[in-house]
Amino acid sequence: MCGIFGITDNKDAARLAYVGLFTLQHRGQESAGIVTDDHGALLPYTGMGLVNEVFDNGVLGELEGRNAVGHIRYSTTGSSHIKNAQPLVLNSCLGNVAVAHNGNITNADAIKAKLQKDGAIFQSSSDSEVILHLAARHKGRSLEDTLARNLPKLSGAYAFLFMTPGKVIGARDPYGYRPLVLGRLGRSYILASETCAIEVAGGSVVREIEPGEMAVIAGGKIKFKRFAPVKRFTRCIFEQVYFARPDSVAVGRSVQTARYEIGARLAGELKDVKADLVSGVPDSGTVYALGYAKESGIPYQNVFMRNHYTGRSFIQPDQKLREFTAHLKLAPIRDVIKGKTIILIDDSLVRGTTSRQIVKNLKRAGAGKIVMAIASPAIVSPCYFGIDTPTKGELIANQLSLERIRRFIGADALHYLSLESLVEACGDRRDRNFCVSCFTGKYMEKP
Ligand code: AMP
């Protein structure tokens, strides 16, 4: 996952890009970058870490120009290194072009190998650079024309922002796996991963960029260009489940509303389960638990004190430290949980490590029984389209039966939401479906 944000024709372009990226921070914490267009010179600034660690007033002051494109990265393809921080800026026969990408291009390695054989030199190990190399070899009359010829050669998922002097272009893959929304702020246009970023920057949402569509903004005007037919609108459902911020709207449905309804549907699926209280694993589990409480009549309670100041420095690969971090981040509230039967909701179970740790901490702190309710179906297959899920072998639901997963996480009962409830609650429509490959193992195209 990554977040992208672009703004045009604004004297505060860099600062508004900062606001947009700051709002999208939940989509990636590894690196952040902004490129501005200062009278035709593209000024890039990228760094490792959170948006407010990378940028300060001084840096933002130096990023002059009325157009800006920004990116925050959550590494999927390519290693965690500053050279993979985006936006990437390349100087070629296309002139100076910057690119910011959210998604995963599944045929990037094959394209890259071919281009390298022909002499191309790549400056990063991320998959996002291939489109610029392709474009440099197959030029059209304008950048949009060039992109329209070359984007259809890519497979997989992408929401792109491109910038050249005087122009910003947004493009979304023909399935619409990854989100891209258009907004307006006075005379400025905004392109962003989520509606929340447009609104926090002070703008209003216009519409989603359609799958296979490009938005070209130049000279204060916007043009739309279709570069591929919509294959079948299959937006990633994991955005609704986990990634998107609840105050965003996706495919016409508020994420908060969808999650509340998912919680209610979970309650419907578990109507025979008696419990003293229902709670969610903060932050993503909370809305689900509220929906569950409303539907079931079981009182909602916070069972954890969440410490918001843990930061990322504690996220270490070492198992002992990871356990310690879990405790540091979520401390059980003993008085609330003592001897109680608790329905505990989390958005998903991937490897099972989070649930296992949390159940252990709650029990150690005196909880009675724990019914673990997962607000999505079992993840049985990896994502090839930009969500950082591990290989099949590491996905617990691919390896163990429901009963063995329950035992592994130490809960007294375990329930996954049905796929049917999930897609209905997310607002699945005939023309606008969701990609649910991670739950079914069936992919729209062979990855
Ligand atoms: P796990 O501990 O491996 O079972 O992962 C599940 C937990 O990680 C849940 O609490 C989710 O909120 C969170 N989660 C799920 N998918 C992702 C992802 N792609 N990146 C980071 N966290 C995730």
Upstream peptide bond of 246 is cis (omega within 30 degrees of 0)? no
Upstream peptide bond of 283 is cis (omega within 30 degrees of 0)? yes
User: Does 75 sit in the ligand 1 pocket, CB within 6 Å?
Assistant: no
The per-residue pLDDT for range 221-251, each reduced to its tens digit, is: 999 999 999 888 899 999 999 999 999 999 8
Antiparallel, parallel or unpaired: β 433-435 and 413-416: unpaired
User: Does 398 sit in the ligand 1 pocket, CB within 6 Å?
Assistant: no
Q: Specify the DSSP element, H or E, that contains 226.
A: strand 221-226
Residue 100 structure tokens: 């910011």
Atom number, ligand 1, closest to the C-alpha of residue 353? 2
User: Does 127 sit in the ligand 1 pocket, CB within 6 Å?
Assistant: no
Q: What pTM, to 2 d.p., does this model score?
A: 0.94
- Among the listed ranges 82-86, 96-100, 103-107, 256-260, which one has the minimum average pLDDT value? 82-86
User: Does 242 sit in the ligand 1 pocket, CB within 6 Å?
Assistant: yes
Q: Which of 2, 196, 426, 438 is catalytic?
A: 2
| Rounded distance between C-alpha atoms, residue 40 and residue 216, angstroms | 17
> Closest Cα to atom 14, ligand 1: which residue?
348
| Rounded distance between C-alpha atoms, residue 153 and residue 124, angstroms | 20
**pLDDT reported for residue 254:** 95
Query: Sorting pLDDT into bands at 50, 70 and 90, what band is 313?
Result: very low
426 is catalytic: no
- Among the listed ranges 44-58, 272-286, 325-339, which one has the minimum average pLDDT value? 325-339
The per-residue pLDDT for range 377-397, each reduced to its tens digit, is: 999 999 999 887 778 888 999
35, 88 contact by CB (below 8 A): no
Q: Has residue 311 got a pLDDT over 70?
A: no
147, 168 contact by CB (below 8 A): no
Residue tagged 């660690």 (tokens): 53
**CA-based nearest residue to 15, from 50, 58, 48:** 58
Residue 365 structure tokens: 């702190």
Atom number, ligand 1, closest to the C-alpha of residue 347? 12
Atom number, ligand 1, closest to the C-alpha of residue 389? 19
User: Does 170 sit in the ligand 1 pocket, CB within 6 Å?
Assistant: no
* Amino acid, single-letter form, for residue 182: L
| 3 state SS of 208 | strand
Q: What is the mean pLDDT of the chain?
A: 93
| Rounded distance between C-alpha atoms, residue 50 and residue 365, angstroms | 33
Q: Specify the DSSP element, H or E, that contains 115.
A: helix 108-117
40, 97 contact by CB (below 8 A): no
| Rounded distance between C-alpha atoms, residue 135 and residue 143, angstroms | 8
Structural domains in the chain, sorted by start: 3-233 (3.60.20.10), 258-428 (3.40.50.2020)
The mean per-residue pLDDT over the stretch 157-161 comes to: 97
184, 7 contact by CB (below 8 A): no
**pLDDT reported for residue 299:** 98
363-to-85, 252, 253, 413 alpha-carbon distances in Å: 41, 40, 37, 14
The per-residue pLDDT for range 176-214, each reduced to its tens digit, is: 999 999 999 999 999 999 999 999 999 999 999 999 999
End-to-end Cα spacing for the chain: 17
The per-residue pLDDT for range 347-365, each reduced to its tens digit, is: 999 999 889 999 999 999 9
